Structure 1
Amino acid sequence: MEYLDFELPIKELQEQYEKACQIGEDSDVDVTNTCKQIEKKLTDTKKEIYKNLTPWQRVQLSRHPNRPYTMDYINAICGDSFLELHGDRNFKDDKAMVGGLGKIGDQSYMFIGQQKGYNTKTRQYRNFGMANPEGYRKALRLMHSAEKFNVPVVTLIDTPGAYPGLEAEERGQGEAIARNIFEMTKLKVPIIVVIIGEGASGGALGIGVGDKVLMLENTWYSVISPESCSSILWRSWEFKEQAAEALKLTATDMKRMKLIDQIVKEPLGGAHSDREKTFRNVATAIEKAYGEFKNLSPIDLVEKRMDKYSEMGVFKG
């Protein structure tokens, strides 16, 4: 288990707890009370730390190396029912964007999301979760297939942004993202968006238009990362904590500004601390969200989606 800087008090108590339990196993000394005391202190410390997280600390949690990624959610939620689909039928298959058909219970969904890697080799293979234009075009192809067969769409967002390389710009990165946003607003099947990690810039928006936008508790959603914001405003990455605070990028901020619809609770310690519980929470939230829209006609569905996004950023005095 890897620990972030602010989690070091938890690490120390966890090590003390494990040592005390080991002593009890290796000797005849009764350490039951000691273990209980340390365990209680450990629980209290976790509650104290995680209920007072700063925006920057939530950004750190969203990037935790043990945090589940898109394919972890899909495999856990769908099991063997998931069938991955490949390619944009134009250029190539983008490994940073994954998608395919899967089931939750008896209901089929088209799952689409950005996939990061687990180590150096897979991170390079997945391009660190940064999709090229062909990734967004693949996503759009899958959405249109879902629309054709009346299958709801679920998108899982976890990206530091769309790939900013020269070749991506040459192949029309901006156009691909803009096209997705336009097409998603008028897709005739329910779209459920779940932000499971980083939701950065147009890279997130390219699959981020939905009837219901869910956001896990320790994730962020913003036009720019705190580091990039800091480098622009202060010419240094040292002010990333102040930038995170100013950007209002946490789930609580997004909900208050009505840019998302629901916050999905994470287990104490973050999604990686209890993966199975996180997967169950997300699956339940998706099923509940689909239940709100499954009986709407395509015309009503699109009209409601249009109204939702038209009202964003509008304030009445």
Structure 2
Amino acid sequence: MRSYLEFEKPIADLEGKVQELRTMSGDDAVDVDEEIARLETKANQALKDIYSKLTPWQKTLVARHPDRPHAADYIDQLIEDFTPLAGDRKFGEDSAIVTGIGRFRGQRVAVIGQEKGHDTQSRLKHNFGMARPEGYRKAVRIMEMADRFGLAVISFVDTAGAYPGIGAEERGQAEAIARSTEACLKLGVANAALIIGEGGSGGAIAIASTNRVIMMEHSIYSVISPEGAASILWRDSARAQDAATNMKITAQDLIKLGIIDEIVEEPLGGAHRDPGTAIAKAGEALERVLGEFHGQSADAIRQQRHEKFLAIGRNL
């Protein structure tokens, strides 16, 4: 059953009526095809109207939609012969970050993905996509291996932020994030990050300091969550909508600021309405940006990456 967000209530009402009429259409005595067609047209128009003028807060809700495709879905559809790799070789395994190697459109790649999970059990297993230090140290291990063997690196970013628990802090959360960010920047192979849902704080930057940063149309990318910013600025998390508007967290704002490089258009109504199409379009964008670095030297790839991030502050 489809899950609707609060602002999608007009669409939910219309599509609910369509479903009721479809149930009735099984009765030969009732001809409702014309009414179904009329309501479907009206629902599609409502969907277009609503999604053409989403506010930053509404985009935040879409980015967090429970049915939105996650890293595992992108890996399943885009990466052939994927072999998962686990553990940081220092403390243990962290399921919030999924890593491995495989083939992407014929090219050997290393993959790093933040996985939130789809149901209660998997969300608990993956800690809602919030990694502990061992997750970032695992990412560093995979990046170093990719550099050694000449594998391009693809990151699927989807996290509210790094896990803020006591144990994580005791094991060096900030240092692990910094080391992961450094590993991204030092790579002599091309790397690209795709923000598929939430790109929250250092937890996202740790695997998204890449040659190219791409965002799905209705994803968000920010230094802190809107709720966290509202709590700090106004001491009131209920003002998250105000924070989302002022923080410039949407793909459309960030590409104007030069912080990201490309936006992947999502199917009407968001990626959760047609995951297959959304993932396929993302794959085309990743193939294109990685192709820009074919044949380039390690020094040239590093230089491009460094200049990209240095230019952000200069252009503001």
TM superposition score normalised by structure 2: 0.97
Partner residue, 2:59: 58
Structure 2 residue 42 is matched with structure 1 residue 30: no
2:257/2:315 contact within 8 Å kept: no
Structure 2 residue 161 is matched with structure 1 residue 155: no
Deviation, 1:179, is 1.2
Structure 1, 102-111 or 57-66: larger mean CA deviation: 102-111
Q: Secondary structure at the match of 2:29?
A: coil
Partner residue, 2:165: 165
1:290-314 CA distance string (max 9 Å, x none): 1111121111111111111111111
Paired residues, what number? 315
Partner residue, 1:9: 10
Distance (whole Å) between structure 2 residues aligned to residue 128 and residue 32 of structure 1: 43
Amino acid at match of 1:312: I
Distance (whole Å) between structure 1 residues aligned to residue 87 and residue 104 of structure 2: 24
Partner residue, 2:102: 102
Distance (whole Å) between structure 2 residues aligned to residue 40 and residue 200 of structure 1: 37
| Residues 315, 83 of structure 1: alpha-carbon distance in 2 compared, 3 angstrom cutoff | closer
Partner residue, 2:213: 213
Paired residues for 1:233-272 under 5 Å: 233-272=233-272
Distance (whole Å) between structure 2 residues aligned to residue 177 and residue 60 of structure 1: 26
Distance (whole Å) between structure 1 residues aligned to residue 86 and residue 8 of structure 2: 39
Deviation, 1:32, is 2.2
1:264-289 CA distance string (max 9 Å, x none): 11111111100110110111111111
Partner residue, 1:179: 179
1:51-79 CA distance string (max 9 Å, x none): 01000000001111111111111011125
Distance (whole Å) between structure 2 residues aligned to residue 258 and residue 200 of structure 1: 18
Amino acid at match of 2:172: G
Partner residue, 1:69: 70
Paired residues for 1:39-58 under 5 Å: 39-58=40-59
Distance (whole Å) between structure 1 residues aligned to residue 105 and residue 47 of structure 2: 34
Distance (whole Å) between structure 2 residues aligned to residue 118 and residue 46 of structure 1: 24
Deviation, 1:182, is 1.7
Deviation, 1:11, is 0.7
Amino acid at match of 1:176: A
Amino acid at match of 1:196: I
Structure 2 residue 221 is matched with structure 1 residue 224: no
Deviation, 1:193, is 0.5
Identity %: 44
Q: Secondary structure at the match of 2:113?
A: strand
Distance (whole Å) between structure 1 residues aligned to residue 215 and residue 159 of structure 2: 14
Q: Secondary structure at the match of 2:314?
A: coil
2:195/2:219 contact within 8 Å kept: yes
1:166-203 CA distance string (max 9 Å, x none): 11111111111111212211200000100001111110
Deviation, 1:121, is 2.2
Partner residue, 2:280: 280
Deviation, 1:117, is 2.0
Distance (whole Å) between structure 2 residues aligned to residue 183 and residue 75 of structure 1: 26
Partner residue, 1:122: 122
Partner residue, 2:201: 201
Q: Secondary structure at the match of 2:101?
A: strand
| Residues 9, 206 of structure 1: alpha-carbon distance in 2 compared, 3 angstrom cutoff | same
2:143/2:183 contact within 8 Å kept: no
Query: Which blocks of at least 5 consecutive residues in structure 1 are unaligned?
Result: none
Deviation, 1:113, is 1.3
Q: Secondary structure at the match of 2:208?
A: coil
Q: Which runs of 4+ in 1 moved over 3 A?
A: none
Deviation, 1:4, is 0.5
Distance (whole Å) between structure 2 residues aligned to residue 122 and residue 19 of structure 1: 33
Partner residue, 1:92: 92
Amino acid at match of 2:73: D
1:128-173 CA distance string (max 9 Å, x none): 1110111001001001111111110000100010011111111111
Q: Secondary structure at the match of 1:82?
A: strand
TM superposition score normalised by structure 1: 0.97
Query: Which blocks of at least 5 consecutive residues in structure 2 are unaligned?
Result: none
